[in-house]
Amino acid sequence: MKTVEMVKVAKEVLRNAYAPYSNFRVSAVLFGEDGLFTGVNVENASYGLTVCAERVAVFKAVSEGKRKFEKILVYTPGRENLPYPCGACRQVMAEFFGEDFRVIVANDSEEEQFTLGELLPFNFKR
Ligand code: THU
């Protein structure tokens, strides 16, 4: 699946983002052999309970028995910030995906692509 198609899906599901506190809306599209899963950020009045879009997508997939994926696109609208995954999301992705798994971050003016190994070298594994 091409990045442009993933961005299209990310824009569609963004309407479900629940971000009344930060107003920073994020969506994620996880894609690979096991199909396509989406996620959005879900905030809470108790701010620390917020879950990022990436983690929602990964947990939706894993909870349905799907773990074979090649990449994730993380999208936020606008032309300023790029939604680089937070440290917690990097660690969660490292639990299930290898160092060649690709992470694409995009907004309405640019996109950047990394491998998970670049984003989280020396990740903690047991
Ligand atoms: N957020 C994500 O969903 N993914 C990212 O990659 C960066 C941060 C969310 C969490 C919170 O709801 C909002 O963005 C502001 O931090």
Q: Looking at the domain assignment, is residue 72 inside a domain?
A: yes
How many structural domains does the chain have? 1
pTM of the shown model: 0.97
Q: Looking at the domain assignment, is residue 126 inside a domain?
A: no
**Alpha carbons 10 and 48: distance in angstroms, whole number:** 24
Report residues whose beta carbon is within 6 angstroms of any ligand 1 atom: 19, 22, 24, 26, 41, 43, 50, 52-54, 74, 83, 85-86
**Is 89 assigned a ligand-binding role in the annotation?**
yes
Choosing from 41, 60, 82 the residue with most ligand 1 atoms within 8 A of its CB, the one to mutate for a pocket test is 41
Query: What is the domain range of residue 27?
Result: 3-119
Sequence-distant (≥ 6) Cβ neighbours of residue 53 within 8 angstroms: 17, 26, 27, 28, 39, 40, 41, 74, 83
Helix (H) or strand (E) holding 29: strand 27-32
Q: At what angle do helices 53-63 and 87-96 cross, to 10 degrees?
A: 20
**Alpha carbons 78 and 73: distance in angstroms, whole number:** 16
Q: Looking at the domain assignment, is residue 125 inside a domain?
A: no
**Alpha carbons 8 and 87: distance in angstroms, whole number:** 26
Q: Each residue of 51-110: pLDDT tens digit?
A: 999 999 999 999 999 999 999 999 999 999 999 999 999 999 999 999 999 999 999 999
CB atoms within 10 A of CB 16: 15
Which CATH number do you get for residue 12? 3.40.140.10
